[in-house]
Structure 1
Amino acid sequence: MKNQIKVLLLIEQCNPAWQSVPLEGYKYFQEISKLVDVTLVTHDRNKEYLKFDNTEIVCIEEMHLFKAYYSLVEGLVYKHKVNWPLYNSLTYPIYAEFNHKVYHKFKSKILNGDYDIVHAITPMIPRYPYKIVKACHSTPFLLGPVNGGITFPPGFREKAREEFAYLNFLRAIGRFLIPGYRETYKKADRILAGSTYTLNLLKRLFNLPDSRISLFFENGIDSNFVLTQKPPKQDSKVHLLFVGRLVPYKCADIVIKSLSRLNQTIQNKIDLTIVGDGSEKVLLEKLVQKLGLNDIVQFIGWVPQSQTLDYYRQADIFCFPSIREFGGAVVLEAMANGLPCIVANYGGIGEYVTEETGFKIEPISPEYLTQELTHKIQILVEDDQLRESMSVKSIERARQFTWERKAIELVKIYEQMISEKRSLDK
Structure 2
Amino acid sequence: MTKINTPKKKILIAAYAISPYSGSEFGVGWNFVSKLSAFYDITVLYGTSGVCMGNHEAMLQYRQNNPDDGVNYVYVEPNRLVRLFDWMNRSITPLFFSFSYMLWQRQVLATARKMQANENYSLVHQLNTIGFRHPGFLWKLDLPFVWGPVGGSSNLNDIFFPILGKGNFLRHKLRNWTNSYFLQYSARVKNAAMAAKAIFSATSADRDNLQHFLHVDCQIIRENSLLNLRETIKPTGAEVQFVWAGRIDELKALNLVLSALAHLSGRQDWRLHVIGDGPCKAVLQAQSTALKLDERIIWHGQVPREQVLDIMREADVHVMPSMMDSNPTVLLEAFEMGLPSIALDQFGARDLITAETGFKVTLNTVEGIIEQMADHMAFCLNNHAALDHMKTNVLQRQAELHWDVTIRQVRDIYEKVTHE
Name the TM-score, length of structure 2 as normaliser. 0.89
Q: What number of residue pairs does the alignment pair up?
A: 400
Q: Determine the C-alpha separation between the residues in 2 that align with 1:242 and 1:351.
A: 20
Which residue pairs with 1:239 in the alignment? 241
Indicate conservation of the 8 Å contact 1:13/1:21, yes or no: yes
Matches within 5 A, 1:27-426: 27-43=31-47, 44-49=54-59, 50-51=62-63, 52=66, 53=68, 54-77=70-93, 87=94, 89-110=95-116, 114-136=120-142, 139-159=143-163, 162-163=167-168, 164-168=171-175, 169-174=177-182, 180-208=188-216, 210=217, 213-223=218-228, 226-232=229-235, 236-264=238-266, 267-420=267-420
Q: Determine the C-alpha separation between the residues in 2 that align with 1:307 and 1:410.
A: 32
Which residue pairs with 1:424 in the alignment? none
CA displacement, residues 250-271 of structure 1 (integer Å, 9 cap, x when unaligned): 211111111111022xx31110
Q: Determine the C-alpha separation between the residues in 2 that align with 1:171 and 1:124.
A: 14
Which residue pairs with 2:8 in the alignment? 4
Q: Which amino acid aligns with 1:103?
A: L
Q: Which piece of structure 1 moves more, 407-416 or 284-293? A: 407-416
Q: Determine the C-alpha separation between the residues in 2 that align with 1:140 and 1:31.
A: 21
Deviation at residue 248 of structure 1 after TM alignment = 1.9
Q: Which amino acid aligns with 2:395?
A: I
Indicate conservation of the 8 Å contact 1:155/1:365, yes or no: yes
Q: Which amino acid aligns with 1:124?
A: I
Deviation at residue 123 of structure 1 after TM alignment = 0.9
Residues 1:69 and 1:332: Cα distance change in structure 2 (over 3 Å)? same
Q: Which amino acid aligns with 2:196?
A: A
Deviation at residue 179 of structure 1 after TM alignment = 6.1
Which consecutive residues of structure 2, in runs of 5 or more, have no partner in the other structure? 48-53
Indicate conservation of the 8 Å contact 2:320/2:341, yes or no: yes
Q: Determine the C-alpha separation between the residues in 2 that align with 1:72 and 1:180.
A: 23
CA displacement, residues 303-347 of structure 1 (integer Å, 9 cap, x when unaligned): 333332111101001111223221122112112211111111011
Give percent identity, aligned residues only: 21
Q: Which amino acid aligns with 1:330?
A: V
Which consecutive residues of structure 1, in runs of 5 or more, have no partner in the other structure? 78-86, 421-426
CA displacement, residues 276-304 of structure 1 (integer Å, 9 cap, x when unaligned): 22222121111111111111112222233
Deviation at residue 65 of structure 1 after TM alignment = 4.7
Q: Determine the C-alpha separation between the residues in 2 that align with 1:174 and 1:155.
A: 23
Indicate conservation of the 8 Å contact 2:82/2:101, yes or no: no
Indicate conservation of the 8 Å contact 2:235/2:388, yes or no: no
Deviation at residue 362 of structure 1 after TM alignment = 0.5
Q: Which amino acid aligns with 2:191?
A: E
- More relative contact order, 1 or 2 (CA 8 Å, 6+ apart): 1
Q: Which amino acid aligns with 1:415?
A: E
Residues 1:30 and 1:306: Cα distance change in structure 2 (over 3 Å)? farther
**RMSD of the TM alignment (CA)?**
2.2
CA displacement, residues 229-256 of structure 1 (integer Å, 9 cap, x when unaligned): 12445x5321100112222222111111
Equivalent position SS for 1:127: coil
Deviation at residue 272 of structure 1 after TM alignment = 0.2
Name the TM-score, length of structure 1 as normaliser. 0.88
Which residue pairs with 2:51 in the alignment? none
Q: Determine the C-alpha separation between the residues in 1 that align with 2:121 and 2:44.
A: 12
Indicate conservation of the 8 Å contact 1:140/1:418, yes or no: yes
Q: Determine the C-alpha separation between the residues in 2 that align with 1:129 and 1:5.
A: 23
Q: Determine the C-alpha separation between the residues in 2 that align with 1:302 and 1:13.
A: 24
Q: Determine the C-alpha separation between the residues in 1 that align with 2:76 and 2:115.
A: 16
Q: Determine the C-alpha separation between the residues in 2 that align with 1:303 and 1:33.
A: 32
Q: Which amino acid aligns with 2:121?
A: Y
Q: Which amino acid aligns with 1:36?
A: Y
Deviation at residue 103 of structure 1 after TM alignment = 1.0
Q: Determine the C-alpha separation between the residues in 1 that align with 2:89 and 2:42.
A: 33
Residues 1:204 and 1:98: Cα distance change in structure 2 (over 3 Å)? same
CA displacement, residues 130-168 of structure 1 (integer Å, 9 cap, x when unaligned): 2111113xx211100111121122322224555221222
Indicate conservation of the 8 Å contact 1:272/1:298, yes or no: yes
- Moved beyond 4 Å, runs of 4+: 159-162, 172-179
